Amino acid sequence: MKWTVLAMTFLLSFALSAQRDLTPNSRKTAFGKRDLRNLSNYGLQFQLGPTYLMSRLENPVYEVVSNSNGFRGNFLHDPKGLLGAYAEIGMFHFPKKRSKLSLALKTVLVSYYDWGIGFKYFRGMQNVEVQFKDALGNPLGSPEVTPYQFSFGHIYGRFSLHKNIHFKTKRSREKSNFFLDNSLGLNVDYRVTTKSDGYVHPLPIVVDSVPARYSTPLHVQLHYGLGFGFRLKRGAYIIPGVRAPLLGFQMTQVVPTNSMSGGKSTFGNPSFQWFSSKYWPILIHVKYMFAFEKKQKKGCPPVEINDQDKNTQQNR
């Protein structure tokens, strides 16, 4: 009971301190002291989290009647995603000044932009399910399921523009320490590791009707991200969220190789292709950002920011 009371007291004190004004303009900390640090408009960001390959919700069933080998029945391809992981490190930058369009529209178009390099690890599989039938169309026993698994390792570079939507407190109607983080950006991936089962369809006679295609190592994607941000203190933020590609450019091949030659280019669908299925990559992340502190010259105290600087920093 004693530990429960202590834990509740700690959580309550943390929640109350989170309601204090932590905006960069106020120069206060959660404990009410003045924060005299002179922060830069840029800093370090790093993020990590799980990856997942989304697949189609419904699988088409293919009916087969073959006179050559006497097979009669149907089959389907059932793709599934498996959990992977990724990590990234880079920098973020607050714009020093608002653009003319932003001033004309009287809104902040870009709250900040960031970039990073990292490594993604994806995993997935495809089950081929075959159901044999008799001449009357009745199932013969249970379906035969053959699994095929694969995994990829990607190195990548990313650049994103972010627009923050800040919540306001009920009493003072001032910005709270919580905000929505919307982002739109571009990432370039290159597959450096590949592990895949050899794909031999249980029914070779129908391979041509559902051909296998394999993505080449290089991918270019336009992505969107949505996060829920928390301002921990001046210049420090943590943002859990999700990111997924909207459009993509890649090339596909009939057999998997590490070469870009001999491929068929595809634009639009951002999903990876492997075996006879497509997989949409999803990244779930926790991002931490902190701004660098400017070095002060000896004998020069920190200078309070003026009103113009406050306007440009209103979303920090």
pLDDT value, residue 166: 87
The CATH fold of domain 33-312: Porin (2.40.160)
The full set of domain ranges for the chain reads: 33-312
pLDDT value, residue 190: 97
Give the pLDDT of the chain (316 residues) as one tens digit per residue. Answer: 444 444 444 444 433 333 333 344 444 444 456 666 788 899 999 999 999 999 998 898 888 876 566 678 888 999 999 999 999 999 999 998 888 777 877 888 899 999 999 999 999 999 999 888 888 888 888 998 999 999 999 999 999 999 999 887 666 666 778 999 999 999 999 999 999 998 877 776 665 567 889 999 999 999 999 999 999 998 999 999 999 999 999 999 988 887 777 778 888 999 999 998 999 999 999 999 999 988 776 655 555 555 545 555 544 5
Neighbours of 61 (CB within 10 A): 11
Query: pLDDT by residue (tens digit) across 247-281?
Result: 999 999 988 887 777 778 888 999 999 998 999 99
Burial (0-12, 13-18, 19+ Cβ within 10 Å), 135? exposed
pLDDT value, residue 207: 58
CA separation (Å) from 304 to 133, 249, 290, 291, 312?
81, 48, 20, 17, 14
The one-character DSSP state at 225 is E
pLDDT value, residue 216: 93
pLDDT value, residue 282: 98
Question: Among candidates 90, 94, 88, 89, which has minimal Cα distance to 42?
Answer: 94
SS3 category, 144: strand
- Taking the alpha carbons at both ends of the chain, their separation in whole angstroms is 41
Burial (0-12, 13-18, 19+ Cβ within 10 Å), 63? exposed
* Structure-token match 């091949």, residue found: 253
